[in-house]
Amino acid sequence: MTKQFFLYLVVAPSLLLAQQKDVTQYVNPLIGTQRMGHTFPGATVPFGMVQLSPDTDTIPYEMNGKYNPDVYKYCAGYQYDDKTIVGFSHTHFSGTGHSDLGDFLIMPTTGPLQLNPGTADNPKSGFRSAFSHANEKATAGYYRVKLDDDNIVAELTATTRAGFHQYTFPKTDDAHIILDCMHGIYNYDDKNVWTFIRVENDTLVTGYRQTSGWARTRTVYFAMTFSKPFKEYGCRDYSKKEVYRGFWRKFDQSRNFPDLAGKQLRLYFNFSTAEGEKIKIKFALSPVSTEGALANLQAELPHWDFEKVRADAQASWNRELNKVAVDASEAEKQNFYTALYHAFQGPTVYMDIDRRYKGLDQNIHTAANFTNYTTFSLWDTYRALHPLFNILQPARNGDMVSSMLAHYDQSVLKLLPIWSHYANDNWCMSGYHSVSVIADAIVKGNTSFDAAKALDACVSTARHRSYEGIGSYIDMGYIPDEKLGTSASTTLEYAYDDWSIAQAAEKLGRQDIYAEFLKRSENYKNIFDASVGFMRARKADGSFKQQFDALSTNGQGFIEGNTWNYSFFVPQNPDALIRLMGGKKKFVAKLDSLFTMNLPDKYFAETEDITRDGIIGCYVHGNEPAHHVAYLYNFTDQPWKTQYWVRTIVSNQYKPAPDGLGGNDDCGQMSAWYIFSALGFYPVAPGANQYQLGSPAIDKAVIQLENGKTFSITANNQGGKNIYVQKAVLNGKPLDKPVLNYSDIMNGGSLVFYMTDKPKK
């Protein structure tokens, strides 16, 4: 028996006790709801299909036929500074910079029936209500708010596939529940393709809503039950042009008519209520059918005990969040557990209780051997979120890869997902980063899926000549500027992705693939302009694009980042990049400039998705392309600068307050960056087995691994100015390089950082 194993036996029982701890007390779902975080404060369980959350406005995507930039604020439906709530809808993205969803808005009201939402400056003009944060409570799995205009307390909780509403009414004969099927996030005139509703009886409503938005062909089915029969109900169709209705005109479809369909439907249900009477609503979703939604409802919510569902939701969060037991300052614990909470919002479960789901081909498939997930924001999440899952959620991560492979099988283009949700690819952003997620899982041996087939899917995707310049990239070694507006950043991303494919191929003994893609992974060199010292868009004739502004993100061949940020994007081979840039000294000076220069305001104005605080020097943490860059000092002789800048980013960019996030959380990527960095290490190149050490921001963390082992991280003397690592000791042995291996973690053990205020120069 080794000492370590003995230690494990001693520690384990206390860890089990630790798992009983209610760490949801540190989760504040309001973090990121102000300004650019784009998180939502509502109720959801980990990776839940239903994310039931208040929406504070209904800004349309277009006004008078033109893009309305204000819509961007409402990517998650909620903005902290707003004074009114229009209702509670069942689907949201967490932290995205474009959006969709917001399905099936429910709003309780009293008094004369109002079927339009009204305006924020005059909430009484519609069914929306004023609210104040003083009367609002958001916790993991539970949300409550008082709706001031109507004197109604709204409470929300959820299961994986169902939302549970509880509305406490005053005494009135004029209580209404509005079901708004027009409402949506990033809404515009033609987005609602079709809505179909059946009022099955006086407590059950079923139907579906079909939209064409970010997801081009998307249908969500529902089943909704009331705890109390409604007195009467009605529907209005707000289509601008009345669709041909033929002999349907026979019926008055506006009142108590149960068979409804159209493009723009809002329904209401009327009740009489006693003082303090609670009307509850169970609202289940399905990607398959109303039958599926009803089965989900019956399976997950067979009773009307709101408090039990709330407690179950909280327990499910505690189960997931206790995978990391953290000692840290109160503020850092809030940051940490909220980051973990946001990291576990998605990808979301996308199948019914019977394992069926609608695929890319719009046919119904069964996920026989895995849980099917959707919402893959891969340009963001391949960087740190999926690598984090390979530690904290390996089973789910394997299922996520299986979901990507099902997507590939169903794709008529035979492409792995780029940015996919609800049986669609929205093709947002660049690269084919599915391959990184798959390669990282293969290299780490976390393969519940068929690894050989997965590698084939990666190769097939990466050889898809007609997709975003891949043909030119293969033929010429870079994408010419003439072919693609993001020719330079996409070339860099492909080169990294190709390296990850090579790693997976090597692991699987496919030398041919390894050689082909390792060679491709060097393509970054082809767009490095030594004359300016930066990556630079290159033309088909081999010359660099004349127009060049290293600070600008516009028209330079990059997306969501200027070449200052992108020129460091060779995560697969920092040593080679350093050589390319003239050696370590020049490289350090360049990194220093990145973090310390003063970016003129005019350049900030063209930076997307972030607040002014989201920028440190010219380093844009609020967007992802440079997320690994602070760790590149580790490849020079000045790792202490990694420690300095990582801690600077941690403290500048993550605060336990509604405005605590400096940029979009991007489906958990920003949070995952924080979690890794707070723990003291980061996956610079997913697909590699190594992490670079940084500077832990917690005092102690114990990671409970799915394999039953634990890995503990201790930061002795951490805090205040003590942000520098004096030494790091793994299982009792000092590390001579700032590198941690995946196996070091997964085998269990301990990593102890000794912190000081003196950089180790």
Cα 22 from chain centroid (whole Å): 24
The pair of structure tokens assigned to 356 is 């069926």
8 Å CB contact between 696 and 713: yes
Q: Which residues are CB-neighbours of 336 under 8 A, at least 6 positions away?
A: 26, 324, 326, 328, 674, 675, 678, 698
State the minimum distance, in angstroms, from the CB of residue 426 to a copy of itself.
6
Check residue 72 for interaction with a copy of itself (CB under 8 A).
no
Q: CA separation (Å) from 255 to 19, 126, 148, 628?
A: 52, 20, 28, 59
- Strands 376-377 and 749-756 turn out to be unpaired
Q: Does 212 help bind a copy of itself (rule: CB under 8 A)? A: yes
Question: Closer to a copy of itself at the Cβ: 161 or 191?
Answer: 191
- Using CB under 8 A as the binding rule, whether residue 363 contacts a copy of itself is answered as yes
Please, what is the minimum distance in Å from the beta carbon of residue 668 to a copy of itself? 21
Beta carbons within 8 Å of 443's beta carbon, 6+ residues apart = 503, 504, 507, 687, 688, 689
User: Which one of the spans 246-254, 613-621, 650-658, 715-723 is the region binding a copy of itself (CB under 8 A)?
Assistant: 246-254
Q: To the nearest whole angstrom, how small is the minimum distance from the Cβ of residue 554 to a copy of itself?
A: 18
User: How remote is the C-alpha of 541 from its chain's centroid?
Assistant: 40
Does residue 468 interact with a copy of itself by CB under 8 A?
A: yes
Q: Does 216 bind a copy of itself (CB under 8 A)?
A: yes
Which range, of 176-184, 244-252, 651-659, 701-709, touches a copy of itself by CB under 8 A?
244-252
Q: Interface with a copy of itself includes 379 (CB under 8 A)?
A: no
- Candidate list 193, 299, 551, 752; residue touching a copy of itself; CB under 8 A: 193
Part of the chain binding a copy of itself (CB under 8 A), chosen from 20-28, 30-38, 78-86, 251-259: 251-259
Sole window of 138-146, 175-183, 425-433, 574-582 interacting with a copy of itself (rule: CB under 8 A) = 425-433
Q: Which pair of structure tokens corresponds to residue 695?
A: 């500077």
CA pair distance 364, 729, nearest whole angstrom: 52
To the nearest whole angstrom, how small is the minimum distance from the Cβ of residue 79 to a copy of itself? Answer: 22
- Stretch of 287-295, 316-324, 384-392, 568-576 contacting a copy of itself, by CB under 8 A: 287-295
What track of x and - describes contact with a copy of itself for positions 290 through 319 (by CB under 8 A)? xx----------------------------
| Smallest separation, CB 213 to a copy of itself (Å) | 6
User: What single letter denotes the amino acid at residue 411?
Assistant: S
Q: What are phi and psi of 234, to 5 degrees?
A: -165, 175
| Residue 217 touching a copy of itself (CB under 8 A) | yes
Cα(156)–Cα(280) distance, integer angstroms: 10
Among residues 198, 355, 463, 525, the one that binds a copy of itself under rule CB under 8 A: 198
Single-letter residue type at 709: K
Q: Which of 15, 133, 188, 471 binds a copy of itself (CB under 8 A)?
A: 188
Phi, psi of 335 (to 5 degrees): -60, -45
Verify binding: residue 246, a copy of itself, rule CB under 8 A. Answer: yes
Contact flag: residue 208 with a copy of itself (CB under 8 A): yes
- Number of helices followed by number of strands (H, E) in the chain: 19, 38
Q: How far is the CB of 251 from a copy of itself (least distance, A)?
A: 7
373 neighbors 61 (Cβ within 8 angstroms) = no
What minimum distance in Å lies between the beta carbon of 748 and a copy of itself? 43
**Nearest CA among 296, 100, 106 for reference residue 217:** 100
Distance of alpha carbon 376 from alpha carbon 359, whole angstroms: 14
> Contact 266/115 with Cβ under 8 angstroms?
yes
Nearer to a copy of itself, 258 or 533 (CB): 258
Q: What does DSSP say about strands 259-262 and 192-199: parallel, antiparallel, or unpaired?
A: antiparallel
247 is an interface residue for a copy of itself by CB under 8 A: yes
Q: Which of 281, 54, 74 is nearest to 177 (CA)?
A: 281
In order of 19, 79, 207, 316, 657, the CA distances from 141 in angstroms are 18, 19, 25, 9, 19
Of the candidate residues 361, 450, 549, 606, the single one contacting a copy of itself (CB under 8 A): 361
How far is residue 161's CA from residue 45's CA, in Å, rounded to a whole number? 9
232 contributes a contact to a copy of itself by CB under 8 A: no
Query: Which strands sit side by side in the sheet containing 749-756, from one edge to the other?
Result: 324-327, 700-704, 710-716, 749-756, 724-730, 733-734
Judged by CB under 8 A, the residue of 244, 512, 598, 602 near a copy of itself is 244
- The span from the CA of 484 to the CA of 492, in Å, is 13
Residue 70 or 190: the one with the smaller Cβ distance to a copy of itself is 190
Which window, 258-266, 337-345, 693-701, 712-720, contacts a copy of itself (CB under 8 A)? 258-266
Contact 154, 278 (CB under 8 A): no
Told to check if 189 binds a copy of itself by CB under 8 A, we report yes
Q: Toward a copy of itself, which CB reaches closer, 241 or 761?
A: 241
For residue 692, give the H/E element and its range. strand 690-693
Residue closer to a copy of itself, measured from CB, 361 or 575? 361
- According to DSSP, residue 606 is labeled T
**Interface stretch with a copy of itself, choices 28-36, 311-319, 410-418, 442-450 (CB under 8 A):** 410-418
| Residue 63 in contact with a copy of itself, rule: CB under 8 A | no
Q: 348: helix, coil or strand?
A: strand
Using the rule CB under 8 A, is 427 a contact of a copy of itself?
yes
Q: Say how far apart CA 455 and CA 441 lie, in whole Å.
A: 11
Residues 98-117 that bind a copy of itself (CB under 8 A): 98
The only residue of 248, 548, 604, 754 in contact with a copy of itself, by rule CB under 8 A: 248
290 or 634, CB closer to a copy of itself? 290
> Encoding tokens for residue 648?
């600077």
Give the interface size with a copy of itself as a residue count (CB under 8 A).
50
Q: Which of 47, 93, 196, 376 binds a copy of itself (CB under 8 A)?
A: 196
For the CB of residue 256, give the shortest distance to a copy of itself in the complex, in Å. Answer: 8
Taking CB under 8 A as the criterion, the residue among 362, 369, 543, 547 binding a copy of itself is: 362
Determine, following the binding rule CB under 8 A, whether residue 428 of this chain makes contact with a copy of itself: yes
Residue 205 and residue 283: Cα distance in Å, rounded? 9
Applying CB under 8 A, which of residues 1, 10, 412, 605 lies at the interface with a copy of itself?
412
Q: Is the link from the previous residue into 639 a cis peptide, with omega within 30 of 0? A: no
The two beta strands, 749-756 and 710-716, are parallel
Judged by CB under 8 A, does residue 413 bind a copy of itself? Answer: yes
194 versus 754: smaller Cβ distance to a copy of itself = 194
CA distance 382 to 655: 24
- The 3-state DSSP composition of the chain as helix, strand, coil percent (nearest 5) reads 30, 25, 45
**Contacts to a copy of itself by CB under 8 A:** 61-62, 98, 188-191, 193-194, 196, 198-200, 206, 208, 210, 212-214, 216-217, 241, 243-248, 250-251, 256, 258-259, 261, 289-291, 361-364, 411-413, 419, 426-428, 466, 468
